[in-house]
Amino acid sequence: MSVLVTGGAGYIGSHTVAELLAQGEDVIVLDNLQKGHSQAVLANKFYVGDIRDSDVLDTIFSVHDIEAVIHFAADSLVGESVQEPLKYYDNNVIAAQRLLTKMNQYGVKKIVFSSTAATYGEPKNIPIREDDSTEPTSPYGETKLAIEKMMKWCDNAYGIKYVSLRYFNAAGAHSDGHIGEDHTPESHLIPIVLQVALGQRQAVSIFGDDYSTEDGTCIRDYIHVMDLANAHWLALKRLREKNESGIFNLGNGTGFSVREVISKAREVTGHPIPANVGPRREGDPAVLIASSEKAKRELGWQPGFESLEEIIRSAWNWHKTHPNGYDK
């Protein structure tokens, strides 16, 4: 039987495909390449198509014996979602509804879903636990939360079991050096900072320094993409062994401010990385730090890259060797 990975040409999806193949899984990728790269697809069964297209889903579910779906395909930028909420309801909520409809039609009963720390909004407690309140501050977080609720009701009605993984900030690249982060346009902090170190940008703009944090800039919990990839494999194993739904945070449990990330990147790259302070970006909570105790306890997950330095160094190795991403 096979595992269908939607968004498998994207950043986290491609690293997860690498992990699944290493674990001996038969993998099928579906990606419309709106953000992904065909060079990042390591599986040899690859459909270029859109998850909202029911004909493509019919073909995949009827040609292949799909046991489980790992669903990455989405729009995923906090700031953009505030400007274009309907795009997010379409590609996240409506697309997931179509995917779940086809899973139900073809009797596919397992899904691992890419959720996010953005479901929590401005947290009441730090570190954030899975049972803390969810009040998203952006349409992006709102649409991911809506999908979690959709999956809950689909479990109730049709017995489709889900594991929802609420990742904090993904960063880094594969240790083999063949895949990494390549978004156009890039909006994530670590790759932007490294593009400054490569001389591709003049400076990094800090989005607000008037938050109620020690240095005034936002604090995030950075997690290595290979640790995320491994968690998907463990989530799939749990679905097979326990046939039980669940929600898990994935982060390192330590927060770093935007200024701390820039300063660590200066150390790693040896470049002065100029930074300017700009206005806040709409939708950004001040502090997001995970408690991942539940994932450690129930999935047996253990991150391999726990320091910010290792994470930035891993990203730097990729960016140095692929200064233009996959089009080097």
Ligand X SMILES: O=c1ccn([C@@H]2O[C@H](COP(=O)(O)OP(=O)(O)O[C@H]3O[C@H](CO)[C@@H](O)[C@H](O)[C@H]3O)[C@@H](O)[C@H]2O)c(=O)[nH]1
Ligand Y SMILES: NC(=O)c1ccc[n+]([C@@H]2O[C@H](COP(=O)([O-])OP(=O)(O)OC[C@H]3O[C@@H](n4cnc5c(N)ncnc54)[C@H](O)[C@@H]3O)[C@@H](O)[C@H]2O)c1
In the block, tokens 């779906």 appear at: 69
Residue 81 binds which of ligand X, ligand Y, none (CB < 5-8 A, kind-dependent) = none
**Within positions 174 to 203, which residues make up the interface with ligand X, using CB under 6 A?**
187-189, 192
Q: Binding partner of residue 139 among ligand X, ligand Y, none, CB under 5 to 8 Å per kind? A: none
Residue partners of 101: CB distance under 8 A and separation at least 6: none
Question: Which residue matches tokens 């029911």?
Answer: 54
CA torsion sign for 117, 119, 122, 128 is negative
The site partner of 9 among ligand Y, ligand X, none (C-beta below 5 to 8 Å per kind) is: ligand Y
Contact status: 73 vs ligand Y (CB under 6 A): yes
- Mark residues 99-138: x for contact with ligand X by CB under 6 A, - for none: -----------------xxx--------------------
DSSP H or E segment with residue 83: helix 78-83
Catalytic residue chosen out of the listed positions 11, 120, 140, 167: 140
> Of 41, 51, 147, 289, which one interacts with ligand Y (CB under 6 A)?
51
Residues 207-236 that bind ligand X (CB under 6 A): 207, 218, 220
- Residues 149 to 168 in contact with ligand Y, rule: CB under 6 A: 167
Closest CB to ligand Y among residues 116, 257: 116
φ/ψ (deg, to 5) at 8: -75, -5
140 is catalytic: yes
* CB proximity list for 102: less than 8 A, separation 6 or greater: 54, 57, 58, 61, 108
284 contacts which partner out of ligand X, ligand Y, none, CB within 5 to 8 A by kind? Answer: ligand X
CA distance 110 to 107: 9
By CB under 6 A, the count of residues binding ligand X is 22
Which is nearest to 170 in space by CA: 96, 236, 77, 237? 77
Q: Which does 258 bind (CB under 5 to 8 A by kind): ligand X, ligand Y, none?
A: ligand X
Burial class for 251, CB neighbours closer than 10 Å (0-12, 13-18, 19+): buried
Q: Output the smallest distance, CB 239 to ligand Y, in A.
A: 18
DSSP-derived pairing of the beta strands 219-220 and 256-257? antiparallel
Which residues are within 8 A (CB) of 41 and not within 5 positions of it... i.e. 6 or more apart?
8, 9, 14, 17, 29, 31
Q: Which stretch binds ligand Y (CB under 6 A): 73-81, 230-238, 263-271, 282-290?
A: 73-81
273: left (phi over 0), alpha (psi -120 to 50) or beta: left
Pattern of binders to ligand X over 75-94, x per CB under 6 A? Answer: -xxx----------------
Catalytic positions? 140
User: Residue numbers of the site for ligand Y (CB under 6 A)?
Assistant: 6-7, 9-13, 30-36, 50-52, 72-74, 76, 91, 95, 114, 116, 167, 169-170, 183
